[in-house]
Amino acid sequence: MKFPESDVLQGLPKQFFANLVKKVNAKVATGADVINLGQGNPDQPTPEFIVKSMQEQTAIPKNHKYSQFRGDPELKKAAAEFYKRQYGVELDPEKEIAILGGSKIGLVELPFAILNPGDTMLLPDPGYPDYLSGVALAKVKLSLMRLKEKNDFMPDYAELDSDTVAKAKLMYLNYPNNPTGAVATPAFFKKTVDFAKANQIGVVHDFAYGAIGFDHQKPISFLQTPGAKEVGIETYTFSKSYNMAGWRIGFAAGNADMIEAINLLQDHLFVSVFPAMQKAAITALNSDQQTVKELVALYEKRRNQFFSAARAIGWEPYHSGGSFYAWMPVPEGYTSEAFADLLLDKAAVAVAPGNGFGEGGEGFVRVGLLIDEPRFTEACQRIKKLNLF
Ligand SMILES: Cc1ncc(COP(=O)(O)O)c(C=O)c1O
C-alpha cells in the first residue's frame, strides 16, 4: 500500500534552510575549514543548576506519570510571577498561561486553534520561517507586512491596504527580531494595540529573544502595553534565555480566549510536557537570572567584536539591539543567495541568505553570533580578501 501525504502536508512550506545545511555539509566534505555563521542554535550549555534540578526531578517516580492536563500549576504560577517580577505584568496562572513544548509549537498551532480555513493572517517579512507552517496547517491566507530598515524593521500599519486590514484576523510580531536583531519601542507596541483594537485583529508577539537585549536596554514585553491582554498573547521560550533549545519547553501568556484555545488543542494532542522538565523549568524561572545576565554579556561582547571586525573591512552592519544575530547588507551586484554562495565557495564562511526569511530579507544576510571571537575575525579576514567592500 501507498500512503500519500495529505493535501495539508503537501501544502507545508519547503524548508529553505535545509538547502543551506546541504551546501555547508558539501563544503565541509571537501575538507574545507568552514566557519559556520549560518545557524541559530545556541552554542552554550544549559546552566548547571537547571541540569541538576532536572537530574533530581527525573529520579522522582511521580514525575514519570502523565503530566497533568494543561501543565503543572506550579510552573504556570512561576511563569506568572516571573512576568510580574521582570515586566510588572499581572497574569492569572490558570487562565492566562499555557505551557508549550517549545514556543514553536504554540506559534504553529495557534492559527489552527483560532482561525478557520480561508481567514487571513498577517506575518512580518522578513520573519521566522516556521510561522508559515502554521499558515499551511490552518489553511489560512497570508498577507505580509514589510519590515524596512528606515522604520527600524517595525511594520508601518499605514502601508497595509485597507482590504487586507479589513480581512485580517491575526498578526504575528517578533522583537528582539529574528533575523534583523531590531528591538521594539513602547510607542510601536502602543500603535499595535490601537491598530489591533480598531481592526479586530489578534496579536501574537513572539518574545523568543526577550532576554537578549544590548546597550543596557532590556527588551520590552508586548504585555507591558496597556490593553495588550485584550488583543493578544506573547510566547516565551527557555531555548534562548537558558540554552535549553533541545529540551523543548516554553509558554504563552496573555489573552484568556487564545490561551484556552491553545490548551484545548493541546489536551487532544499532547497532554503536556514531561513533569520533571516542568519542575526544572520552575527552577530556571525562579533563579536570580545571573546566568542570563552572563549569557547576554557574552552575546553583546561577540556582537561588538563582530561589528568591529566587519567595519574594519568596510562592511557596515545594521545596529542590532538584541537577539544573537547580526543583519548584514549584501554588496552591490549580488543577491542575498549569490553573496552567501560566494562566501561559502571562496571564503568557506557560511551565512544565512536574507531571502530565506522572505522577500523582505533580500539584500541582507544573517550572521549568527554563536561562535567565539577569533573565528569572527578570521571570517572577516577571509571575506576581506574577496575585495567586495
Ligand atoms: C523568532 C523565533 N521564534 C521562535 C523560535 C522557536 O523557539 P522554541 O525553541 O521555543 O520552539 C525561534 C527559534 O529559533 C525563533 O528564532
CA 104 / ligand 1 centre spacing (Å): 6
Average pLDDT over residues 280-302: 97
Closest ligand 1 atom to 240 CA: 9
CA–CA distance, 101 with 271 (Å, rounded to integer) = 10
Contact predicate 209/176, CB 8 Å: yes
Contact 40 CB / ligand 1 (< 6 Å): yes
Asked if residue 103 has its Cβ within 6 Å of ligand 1, the reply is yes
What is the C-alpha separation between 144 and 121, in angstroms, rounded?
Answer: 8
Instruction: Please count the other Cβ atoms lying within 10 Å of the Cβ belonging to residue 5.
Output: 9
Give residue 12's pLDDT band: very low, low, confident or very high (50, 70, 90).
very high
On the question of pLDDT at 342 being above 90, the answer is yes
Name the residue with the closest Cα to ligand 1, atom 5: 104
Q: What's the pLDDT score for residue 175?
A: 98
- Could you report the per-residue pLDDT of 34-93, keeping only the tens digit for each? 999 998 899 999 999 999 999 999 999 999 999 999 999 999 999 999 999 999 999 999
Q: Which atom of ligand 1 is nearest to the CA of 177?
A: 1
pLDDT at 286: 98
pLDDT number for residue 373: 87
pLDDT at 9 over 90: yes
Whether residue 206 has its Cβ less than 6 Å from ligand 1: yes
Whether residue 17 has pLDDT greater than 90: no
Residue 147 has pLDDT above 90, yes or no: yes
DSSP-derived secondary structure for 302-369: HHHHHHHHHHHTT-------BSSEEEEEPPTT--HHHHHHHHHHHH-EE-EEGGGG-GGGTTEEEEE-
140-150: average pLDDT: 97
The answer, yes or no, to whether residue 269 has pLDDT greater than 90, is yes
For the segment 173-214, what is each residue's pLDDT rounded down to a tens digit? 999 999 999 999 999 999 999 999 999 999 999 999 999 999
d(CA 3, CA 24): 32
Percent of the chain with pLDDT over 70: 100
Does the structure show a pLDDT above 90 at 248? yes
Among residues 213, 278, 265, which one has the least CA distance to residue 65?
A: 278
Indicate whether 19 pLDDT > 90: no
Mean pLDDT along residues 297-318: 96
Per-residue pLDDT averaged across 364-382, rounded?
94
What's the 84 CA to ligand 1 centre distance in angstroms? Answer: 23
Share of the chain above pLDDT 90, in %: 96
Of ligand 1's listed atoms, the one at least distance from the Cα of 239 is: 9
Single-letter amino acid, residue 236: Y
For the stretch 322-332, pLDDT in tens is 999 999 999 99
Residue with cell 527557555: 238
Q: Is 247 in the pocket of ligand 1 (CB under 6 A)?
A: no
Mutate to test the pocket of ligand 1, among 206, 209, 234, 320 (most ligand atoms within 8 A of CB): 206
Q: Would you place residue 18 in the very low, low, confident or very high pLDDT band (cuts 50, 70, 90)?
A: confident
Residue 238: CB atoms within 10 A of its CB come to 25
Rounded to two decimals, the pTM is 0.97
Measured in Å, residue 25 CA sits from the centre of ligand 1 at 23
- Residue 16: pLDDT band by 50, 70, 90 thresholds? confident
Query: How far is it, in rounded angstroms, from Cα 272 to Cα 102?
Result: 11
| pLDDT value of position 56 | 98
Determine the distance separating the centroid of ligand 1 and the alpha carbon of 172, expressed in angstroms: 13
